[in-house]
Amino acid sequence: MPYGRCVTYSYRGDRQQLIERARAGLLPIFKQTPGFIAYGVILEGDHAVSMSAWNSESDAQAADQAAKDWVAQNADMTVVSSVIGDFAWLEFADR
């Protein structure tokens, strides 16, 4: 079963700029990290929820460290909560 990484950040600054920077900065890093399955961000008020799926716990941990490094250098965000764990279940659409 895939592993999930879900981190809630508080942020300051322009919402659209945050979206563009995360897509341009984090998405390529995640795509190059072994075990990448999916990545998305939900923005609500002054919080950003970053969600990603990975093939293994070690893949999710590596992505978490890469994200921490990127955020520290590129964004004015603070971690509010963070969870990395094995999905109890994850369903994909038939395509």
What pLDDT is attached to residue 63?
Answer: 95
Q: Give the burial string for 47-63 (b: 16+ CB within 10 Å, else e).
A: ebebebbbeeeebbebb
Q: Considering the domain boundaries, does residue 27 fall inside one?
A: yes
Domain presence at residue 95: no
Residue 25's domain comprises 3-86
3-class state of residue 90 by DSSP: coil
The reply to whether 93 falls in a domain is no
Per residue in 36-73, pLDDT (tens digit) is: 999 999 999 999 999 999 999 999 999 999 999 999 99
The count of structural domains within the chain is 1
Could you tell me the pTM of the whole model?
0.88
pLDDT of residue 70: 94
CATH classification at residue 37 = 3.30.70.100
